[in-house]
Structure 1
Amino acid sequence: MTAHRITSLDQLASLYPNPVAPASLLKEIDHVDANYAALIAASPFFVLATNGPEGLDCSPRGDLPGFVTVSDAKTLLIPDRRGNNRLDSLKNILFDNRIGMLFLVPGYGETLRVNGTATLSSDPELCARFDMAGKLPACVMVVSVDSVYFQCSRAVVRADLWNPAVRVDKRSLPSAGTMLREITARTPAIETFDGEAYDKALPERVKATLY
Structure 2
Amino acid sequence: MADDPMYHEGMRQLQDVRDTRRLADRLEQVIVRTAFTDEDRAFIERSAMFFIATADADGHPDCSYKGGLPGFVQVLDERTLAVPDYDGNGMYRSWGNVRANPHVGLLFLDFENPKRLRVNGTAQVLEDDPLRAQYPGCVFVVRITAQRIFPNCPRYLHRMQLVEHSAHAPRPGYTPPVPAWKSFEAFRDALPARDRPGDKPD
- The answer to whether TM tops 0.5 is yes
Partner in structure 1 of residue 40 of structure 2: 36
Residue 52 of structure 1 aligns with an amino acid whose one-letter code is D
Offset at residue 105 of structure 1 (A)? 2.0
Offset at residue 14 of structure 1 (A)? 2.5
| TM-score normalized by the length of structure 2 | 0.69
Count of aligned residue pairs for this structure pair: 157
Quick check: which has more Rg, 1 or 2? 1
Offset at residue 208 of structure 1 (A)? 11
Task: Give the distance between the partners of 1:155 and 1:121, measured in 2 at CA.
Answer: 36
Residue 31 of structure 2 aligns with an amino acid whose one-letter code is K
Deviations 1:76-117 (A, max 9, x none): 000001111110011100111010000012312121100110
Residue 153 of structure 1 aligns with an amino acid whose one-letter code is P
Partner in structure 2 of residue 151 of structure 1: 152
Offset at residue 130 of structure 1 (A)? 1.1
Equivalent positions of 1:5-20 (< 5 A) are 9-10=12-13, 12-17=15-20, 19-20=22-23
Offset at residue 25 of structure 1 (A)? 3.5
Structure 2, unaligned runs of 5 or more: 1-9, 163-176, 183-202
Partner in structure 2 of residue 182 of structure 1: none
Identity %: 27
| TM-score normalized by the length of structure 1 | 0.66
Task: Give the distance between the partners of 1:128 and 1:8, measured in 2 at CA.
Answer: 43
Task: Give the distance between the partners of 2:180 and 2:113, measured in 1 at CA.
Answer: 27
Offset at residue 161 of structure 1 (A)? 3.7
Q: Compute the RMSD of aligned alpha carbons.
A: 2.7
Structure 1, unaligned runs of 5 or more: 1-6, 165-203
* Aligned residue among 147, 162, 179 for 1:206: 179
Partner in structure 2 of residue 176 of structure 1: none
1:116 partnered with 2:121: yes
Which structure has the highest helix share of the two? Answer: 1
3-state SS of the aligned residue for 1:119?
strand
Partner in structure 2 of residue 185 of structure 1: none
